[in-house]
Structure 1
């Protein structure tokens, strides 16, 4: 079914890191997809899902350190697919992994991942997802049990499955993400990925060799004890979704539960970190 969408065009000064902060805040609202621009960001939301008061939840608009302006227009349903085919670009990581939409031409890469381009935050465009994919590419996942928390489009779970993980569970609280994760797992022939809708209480009663959590600072801090309870001795926890200046707090909470920092990546002020248990 086609729906009318609203296109919001935001201009942010300074664009870096303002663009990434804005993307993180809008991702918590009903926006389904994003395009980075030279001066800011374009964000798309179904007209039926939008309420003007939702922008009051975007704290960047009131942040005196940034100048933010925006305008919006309605996009007729018949133009939506054409717009995505014009603007959505595939993501390539180290020439080993390519995240693309079904309408992109397939290339000869080791890991070719198909994602419906409905939410760029979950396709690898955002720095946090990109770094998490980099971590996974460098890990031996053969026979490992994996949990993908806040799975979004399930792109991380899909790569883990392609790399030989034996059991993969994916959890997301958002109903759209739950449905989209199921859809993308099927498109990539990775139907053995089990998808659950809910928060950390929805995690199956089992332990994992590897837990992935690309969410946000507050949720991560609250759920670190839960992750540790579900992590095998010597297991690995990969975290992202926060800025470098939050790393000290994240690390302190991890250390308090027996996790030790093993590696760190940084991209556009965002970080992804690898912790080991024990």
Structure 2
């Protein structure tokens, strides 16, 4: 499976909204650059006309130029390594690649090698979910990671003391990538599979993680609740602050109550408690 790389030269003020627009069109990986943005979509999901129409709509508001390039699977690591830098989340989490030097002064060090998978900790949505995880007791808890991407949230859950983590994604690369990252981090209690919430074997969890996007969350939150134990917590992200009200409305309709919220650069991450 090959990918299409979209390189955008655009004012920094428009980067975040274009990431959201492109996510709606199937793009799943993003790298912010000095010139704007690089975004990646599976070749089979690439809709040239829809993307160009969306970008042209912004041309009247700001200077914008773009190029498309096909990226073969075997070239992805080379492309990614050009841009990836280690990051720290607060004073507790350090995320790096295996070619970076470790830092022993962080309680939780996570090694990530993404292969076209979303979730390196760089994006606000991922880092905020991880911040929320730090504030939730994971010891001896069961965790469900919906749309696992690179597996970074599942790995953190394991390092925080969760007993069992079930992680799935609809993308084969994400599943392969999560399995690889789980091994890189010497984690043995993450079960990874290809699939959706609809075919998830029914079990009850203490924590459900879902860093996806607004539309999928609104559609699937009622399904997530069926996997939550009473008193369980749902952490969701992948949407803007302006979408919190819509997310909260659907969550409340199925017995969830908002208990925590983080915002960063207009993105949001919310924790709900079940009953």
TM-score by length of 1: 0.86
Q: What's the secondary structure of 1:240's corresponding residue?
A: strand
Equivalences for residues 11-160 of structure 1 within 5 A: 11-13=9-11, 15-16=12-13, 18-27=14-23, 33-43=29-39, 49=43, 53-54=47-48, 56-57=50-51, 60-64=54-58, 66-67=61-62, 68-72=64-68, 81-108=77-104, 109-119=106-116, 121-160=118-157
Q: What's the secondary structure of 1:63's corresponding residue?
A: helix
How far apart, in 2, do the equivalents of 1:77 and 1:211 lie?
31
CA contact (8 A) 1:35 1:120 kept: no
How far apart, in 2, do the equivalents of 1:228 and 1:78 lie?
39
What residue in structure 1 maps to residue 182 of structure 2?
185
CA contact (8 A) 1:212 1:239 kept: yes
- Structure 1: stretches of 5+ with no match in the other structure: none
CA contact (8 A) 1:6 1:72 kept: yes
CA contact (8 A) 1:150 1:214 kept: yes
Instruction: Provide the aligned length of Structure 1 versus Structure 2.
Output: 272
What residue in structure 1 maps to residue 8 of structure 2?
10
Q: How much is the aligned-residue C-alpha RMSD, in angstroms?
A: 2.8
How far apart, in 2, do the equivalents of 1:58 and 1:38 lie?
22
TM-score by length of 2: 0.87
Equivalences for residues 121-270 of structure 1 within 5 A: 121-270=118-267
Q: Residues 114-162 of structure 1, C-alpha deviation per residue, up to 9 Å, x if partnerless?
A: 1113347310111100100111122221001100101101100000001
Q: Residues 77-111 of structure 1, C-alpha deviation per residue, up to 9 Å, x if partnerless?
A: 99865554342101211121111111111111211
How far apart, in 2, do the equivalents of 1:80 and 1:157 lie?
23
Q: 1:112 to 1:265 in 2, by over 3 A?
A: same
Between 1:36-45 and 1:134-143, the stretch displaced more is 36-45
How far apart, in 2, do the equivalents of 1:101 and 1:225 lie?
36
